Chain A
Amino acid sequence: MKTRRYMVLLLLVVALFQGCAFSRGTLGDDIKAEAVSLIQKGVTTKAEILNLLGAPDRLLQLNGRDVFQYYRYDAKAGSLLLILLNFTRLSIKSDDLFVILNRDGLVEDIIASKRTDSLRFRFWPFGE
C-alpha cells in the first residue's frame, strides 16, 4: 500500500516537472565576504589585498589612485516547455567590489555589493 502511494507521488512529481529546464552559469570567482571584512581602511596594504582576494579583474586609475575591481556574475534560467507554449526567464546579477587605494598603497575606501544572494530560478516572464 505504501509502495503504491510512493509510486503515485513519484509519478505526480515526474508529471509536474516534465518539460521544465534549469540552467545556470557563473563568471568569475566568488568574492568572499570574510575576506572583504578583513580589509581595513588606512591599514590594509595593496599586497595584503592581493593576498586576500587575488589579482583584480580590472585595474583602474581614478584621480591618481589605483582601484582594484573584482566582479562575479551569476545567471539562472528557468524554462517551462509546454510544447505549444514555452516560457523562459533568464536572470543575471553581479557581485561587485571596488577597492580604492591611496598614493601610499593603503586602502582608502571599499565599495561593495552582493546581489547574487537574492537570485532565484524563475519561469514566469511577465511582471516584475
Chain B
Amino acid sequence: MTNVWTKVASILIGAVVCLPFIGCNVVRVTLNTSLTPEDVAFIVPGQTTLADIVDKLGAPDTLTNSETGVVATYRFLDLKYSRVNFGWLAKPWTPIDPDLIFSRTGFGVDAFEVHCNQQWIVLHQGFQRHLVRPPFHPYPFQQSQRVGGRELPTSNGLAIMASHGFGHIRPSVSSAQ
C-alpha cells in the first residue's frame, strides 16, 4: 500500500515539476556580441584611438560624420522571448483546442557609440541604452525595475545575463592616426 502511495506521490511531483514547461517556447535571437561596461572599460577618452578599439572590439557597424570628427557605432541585440500555453493542460479533456497563452519579449536592443576627433582619438563614449539584462520569463504582468541605470527583472529566478565575450575578430587593422 505504501508502495502505491509512493508511486502516486512521485507522479504528482513529476506532474507539478513538468507543469510550467507545458506548451512552452523559448526563443533567443542575438545580433553580434553584446557589450557590457566591463568590455569597454579599457577606453580612456583623450588617449585611446579608434584603432585600439577596433583591435579589441572589431570593426564598428557604422561610421558617421560629425562636426568635430567621427562617430563609430557598435550595434547589438539580445532578444529573449518565452511563451507558455496553459491551454495544453485542458487538451486531453476538451473537444476544442483551447489556448491560454502568457508570453513576453525582451528586445535588448542597444548600441555603443564612440565619438572621435579628426585624429581618431576618442573624445566621448557611451551606451545608447543600458539594457544589459532583458527579461526571460513569460509572465507579462510584471514591471521591470531599473537599478543603477540597468534594466533588471523583478523576479530573480528565470532571468539570465546577456552574453559576453567576442567572436573571432581578425585584427587586420592598422593605425588610424
Residues of chain A having any CB pair with chain B under 8 Å:
33, 36-37, 41, 60-63, 67, 69, 71, 84-94, 96-98, 100, 109-115, 117-119, 125-128
Partner of A113, one of B27, B58, B63, B77: B58
Q: Are A115 and B58 in contact (CB under 8 A)?
A: yes
Q: Are B59 and A86 in contact (CB under 8 A)?
A: no
Q: Are A114 and B28 in contact (CB under 8 A)?
A: no
**Nearest Cβ distance between residue B170 and chain A, in whole angstroms?**
5
Q: Give the number of residues in B that approach A within 8 Å (Cβ atoms).
A: 45
Given A112-B172, A114-B169, residue A86 in contact with residue B26 (CB < 8 A): yes
Partner of B54, one of A41, A63, A90, A111: A111
Q: Are B22 and A115 in contact (CB under 8 A)?
A: no
Q: Are B63 and A125 in contact (CB under 8 A)?
A: no
Q: Are B27 and A84 in contact (CB under 8 A)?
A: no
Asked if B142 CB lies within 8 Å of chain A CBs, one says: no
Q: A84 CA to B22 CA in the complex, in Å?
A: 5
A contact patch SS: strand
Identify the 3 closest CB pairs spanning chains A and B, nearest first.
A113-B58, A125-B28, A118-B167
Q: Digitize B20-46: 1 where CB-to-A-CB distance is under 8 Å, 0 elsewhere.
A: 011111111111110000000000000
Partner of B160, one of A69, A112, A127: A127
Q: Are B59 and A60 in contact (CB under 8 A)?
A: no
Q: Are A109 and B29 in contact (CB under 8 A)?
A: no
Given A63-B70, A88-B25, A110-B174, residue A115 in contact with residue B118 (CB < 8 A): no
Q: A111 CA to B60 CA in the complex, in Å?
A: 9
Q: Are B22 and A119 in contact (CB under 8 A)?
A: no
Provide the residues of chain B in CB contact with A114, threshold 8 Å.
168-170
Q: Are B65 and A98 in contact (CB under 8 A)?
A: no
Provide the residues of chain A in CB contact with B31, threshold 8 Å.
92-93
Q: Are B174 and A90 in contact (CB under 8 A)?
A: no
Between-chain CB contacts (< 8 Å), 25 pairs: A60-B65, A62-B64, A63-B65, A63-B69, A67-B63, A84-B21, A85-B26, A86-B26, A87-B27, A89-B27, A89-B28, A92-B31, A96-B59, A96-B61, A98-B59, A109-B175, A110-B172, A111-B63, A112-B173, A113-B170, A113-B173, A117-B167, A125-B26, A125-B27, A125-B28
Q: Digitize B77-96: 1 where CB-to-A-CB distance is under 8 Å, 0 elsewhere.
A: 10010000000100000000
**Nearest Cβ distance between residue A8 and chain B, in whole angstroms?**
30
Residue of chain B at shortest CB distance from A125: B28
**Nearest Cβ distance between residue B92 and chain A, in whole angstroms?**
13
**Nearest Cβ distance between residue B175 and chain A, in whole angstroms?**
8
Q: Are A92 and B32 in contact (CB under 8 A)?
A: yes
Q: A88 CA to B25 CA in the complex, in Å?
A: 8
Given A63-B65, A115-B167, residue A109 in contact with residue B176 (CB < 8 A): yes
